[in-house]
């Protein structure tokens, strides 16, 4: 199957767009077909510089590799494929050719109505509670009138003629049978007065010429489907299969918008989300494989995805599940890869980390509690910089530690740990020693561990005291304990 993703370059890559693109991509890949990227830049007014670049980068980040059309080649936005150009703005003569064909067959007609007249017409219709539709005034023009107006250079558009007596039915891959009454369908503008096609014309021509088998697009296109079906018929082509994907919503069920959510893929990249988490999340928002599996890699999705199991109703874009998935995927990263990702970040803040032979051990301590790579420097800070420890932190009601007890507890810790030789300094021996001390001094385990951990890290939360002490080494551990003992906390 050949599928496609056709974004408009009007801003950043939208997460909703990425989900639709993902579904298209999965269909293409699981059938060993091609996935194309086409740029729908037919509205010059809305175009935003840099959008194509953001879209292409976003797709690459997500792992949606494009086989044909617009893509990054050696760092520059290029086109590849035999059915180009893949920017619609470069295809104007092609659309013109088919519009002329439709003009000749009488399926479309020129319309000279001004924006003012159209607006007045719609206001009148609204006042009368009837559907706002073009009143077909220009269909009354004679061939001579038309020729004269065109010769005089009058601005005009080309509209399609919709048969009002027909009911158009179609079978959508996700929704099943759909039907639309002809008299409710407007005579859609196909070619604008600036010579650019509207989406409707461009979509039909391009998806036919580019041999697209399945058009996967958002549900917002459902109401214009009959127009597209009619166009395929007028042009003598058979339509592709269509799969109208349900929309993504804000918490209040309105169409996902940036007023209420981060909708740009760039924002998620910036925040540090893993593409695996985002893809997994987007795929599950409206699709499942029927089992209780929650974690899907791209390969799993390619294998198991099917349009038939895509939900018909829209889904609320709920970040909480994304965040959970983010944690899940963070934990699947092999330790070496994890180290490679966080080490540069940590070195930026603590240059001494560059020569740290124990960096991997430290990284291992935080991998199971980290959500985003960028948290790493903060989480590892106390390994490279003396922490500031306050009595406020050590004295803990929950651990039954009174400020008055602290000097004694620190003294026990110092004596206990100092007895362990450098050679046997490891997690197991530290634990054994502390436990023995706990018995001997009849204190609770927490009364020793909480101060130890607090003094070593200076933090309320951190990996366990045994692990930290072991990785820190006897020298640093003792030094920090001694410092705390000396200071008047």
Residue written as token pair 């603590």: 350
The answer to whether the beta carbons of residues 335 and 360 sit under 8 Å apart is yes
- Residues contacting 57, CB < 8 A, separation 6+: 72
Q: At what angle do helices 92-105 and 225-235 cross, to 10 degrees?
A: 80
Cβ atoms 233, 20 nearer than 8 A: no
To RNA, the closest distance from the beta carbon of 126 in angstroms equals 7
Among 94, 209, 445, 482, binds RNA (CB under 7 A): 445
Nearer to RNA, 247 or 265 (CB): 247
155 binds RNA (CB under 7 A): yes
Candidates 324, 350, 372, 425; binder of RNA (CB under 7 A) is 324
How many residues sit in the footprint of RNA (CB under 7 A)?
92
Taking contact as CB under 7 A, which single stretch among the options 21-29, 98-106, 190-198, 296-304 is the one that binds RNA? 190-198
Write the CA distances from 339 to 14, 187, 335, 385, integer angstroms: 31, 60, 6, 20
Query: Is residue 414 a contact point for RNA (CB under 7 A)?
Result: no
By CB under 7 A, tell whether 75 contacts RNA.
no
Q: How far is the CB of 54 from RNA (least distance, A)?
A: 15
Coil, strand or helix at 396: coil
258 is catalytic: yes
Residue closer to RNA (CB basis): 311 or 392 = 311
Residue holding tokens 């027909």?
Answer: 166
User: Which residue, chain included where needed, has tokens 């219709």?
Assistant: 125
Q: Which of 118, 141, 443, 485 binds RNA (CB under 7 A)?
A: 118
Interface stretch with RNA, choices 90-98, 155-163, 207-215, 231-239 (CB under 7 A): 155-163
Q: Given the residues 90, 258, 312, 385, select the one marked as catalytic.
A: 258
- Smallest gap, in angstroms, from Cβ of residue 172 to RNA? 8
Query: According to CB under 7 A, which residues from 157 to 186 bind RNA?
Result: 157, 175-176, 178-181, 184, 186
**Subset of residues 254 to 293 that bind RNA, contact rule: CB under 7 A:** 254-255, 284-286, 288, 290, 292
Q: Which member of 114, 238, 355, 388 binds RNA (CB under 7 A)?
A: 114
Q: How far is Cα 196 from Cα 347, in angstroms, rounded to an integer?
A: 53
Question: In whole angstroms, what is the distance from residue 487 CA to residue 489 CA?
Answer: 6
Which is nearest to 3 in space by CA: 48, 59, 67, 49? Answer: 67
Give the footprint of RNA on residues 291-320 (CB under 7 A).
Answer: 292, 294, 309, 311-316, 318, 320
Residues 6 or more apart whose Cβ sits within 8 Å of residue 254: 260
Q: Could you say whether residue 368 binds RNA (CB under 7 A)?
A: yes
Pairing of strands 68-73, 34-37: parallel
Q: What is the DSSP string of 266-308?
A: HHHHHHT--HHHHHHHHHHSSB--SSS-----HHHHHHH--GG
Rounded to 5 degrees, φ, ψ at 57 are: -65, -40
Residues 24-63 that bind RNA (CB under 7 A): 40, 42-43, 45-46
Give min distance, CB of 312 to RNA, in A. 4
58, 81, 110, 463: residue in contact with RNA (rule CB under 7 A): 463
Decide if 463 contacts 369 (C-beta within 8 A): yes
d(CA 239, CA 356): 62
Asked if 156 contacts 170 with a C-beta cutoff of 8 angstroms, the reply is no
Q: Which of 143, 461, 486, 488 binds RNA (CB under 7 A)?
A: 461
For position 199 contacting RNA by CB under 7 A, the verdict is yes
Q: Exactly one of 33, 327, 377, 381 binds RNA (CB under 7 A); which one?
A: 327
As measured in angstroms, the least distance from the Cβ of 238 to RNA is 22
Within 13 Å, how many C-alpha atoms sit on residue 424's CB side?
Answer: 11
Instruction: Characterize the bridge pairing of strands 157-160 and 189-191.
Output: antiparallel
Cα 307 to Cα 174: distance, rounded to the nearest angstrom: 6
Q: Which is nearer to RNA, 257 or 352 (CB)?
A: 257
**Least distance from C-beta 355 to RNA, angstroms?**
27
- Listed residue (158, 156, 148) closest to 108, CA to CA: 158
Closest contact distance (angstroms) between CB of 428 and RNA is 9
Which of 189, 307, 389, 395 binds RNA (CB under 7 A)? It is 189
| 253 scored as a contact of RNA (CB under 7 A) | yes
The answer to whether residue 434 forms part of the interface with RNA (CB under 7 A) is no
Q: Which residue among 33, 63, 84, 446 contacts RNA (CB under 7 A)?
A: 446
CB of 290 to RNA, least distance (A): 5
The residues assigned a catalytic role are: 258
């Amino acid at each position: 199957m050949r599928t496609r993703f056709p974004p408009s370059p009007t801003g950043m890559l939208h997460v909703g767009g990425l989900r639709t693109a993902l579904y298209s991509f999965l269909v293409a890949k699981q059938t060993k077909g091609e996935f194309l990227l086409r740029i729908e830049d037919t509205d010059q007014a809305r175009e935003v510089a840099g959008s194509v670049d953001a879209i292409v980068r976003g797709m690459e980040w997500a792992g949606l590799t494009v086989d044909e059309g617009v893509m990054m080649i050696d760092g520059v936005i290029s086109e590849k494929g035999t059915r180009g150009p893949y920017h619609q703005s470069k295809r104007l003569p092609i659309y013109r050719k088919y519009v002329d064909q439709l003009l000749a067959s009488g399926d479309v007609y020129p319309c000279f109505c001004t924006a003012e007249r159209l607006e007045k017409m719609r206001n009148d219709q609204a006042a009368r509670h009837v559907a706002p539709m073009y009143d077909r005034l220009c269909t009354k023009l004679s061939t001579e009138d038309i020729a004269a107006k065109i010769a005089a250079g009058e601005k005009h558009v080309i509209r399609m003629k919709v048969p009002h007596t027909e009911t158009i039915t179609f079978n959508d891959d996700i929704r099943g049978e759909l039907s639309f009454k002809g008299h409710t369908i407007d005579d859609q503008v196909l070619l604008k007065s600036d010579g650019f096609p509207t989406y409707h014309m461009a979509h039909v021509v391009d998806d036919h010429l580019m041999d697209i088998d399945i058009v996967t697009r958002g549900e917002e296109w459902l109401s214009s489907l009959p127009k597209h079906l009619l166009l395929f018929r007028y042009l003598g082509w058979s339509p592709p299969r269509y799969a109208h994907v349900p929309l993504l919503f804000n918490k209040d069920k309105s169409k996902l918008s940036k007023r209420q959510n981060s909708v740009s893929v760039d924002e998620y990249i910036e925040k540090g989300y893993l593409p695996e988490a985002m893809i997994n999340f987007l795929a599950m928002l409206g699709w499942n494989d029927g089992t209780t599996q929650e974690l899907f890699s791209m390969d799993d999705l390619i294998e198991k995805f099917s349009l038939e199991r895509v939900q018909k109703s829209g889904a609320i874009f709920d970040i909480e599940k994304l965040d959970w998935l983010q944690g899940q995927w963070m934990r699947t990263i092999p330790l070496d890869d994890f180290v490679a990702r966080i080490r540069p970040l940590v070195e930026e803040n603590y240059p001494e980390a560059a020569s740290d032979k124990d960096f991997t051990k430290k990284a291992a301590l935080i991998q199971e509690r980290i959500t985003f790579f960028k948290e790493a420097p903060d989480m590892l800070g106390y390994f490279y910089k003396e922490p500031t420890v306050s009595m406020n932190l050590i004295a803990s009601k929950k651990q039954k530690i009174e400020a008055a007890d602290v000097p004694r507890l620190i003294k026990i810790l110092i004596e206990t740990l100092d007895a362990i030789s450098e050679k046997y300094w490891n997690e197991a021996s530290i634990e054994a020693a502390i436990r023995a001390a706990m018995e001997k001094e009849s204190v609770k385990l927490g009364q020793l561990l909480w101060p130890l951990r607090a003094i070593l890290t200076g933090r309320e939360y951190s990996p366990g005291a045994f692990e930290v002490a072991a990785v820190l080494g006897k020298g640093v551990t003792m030094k920090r304990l001694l410092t705390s003992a000396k200071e008047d906390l």
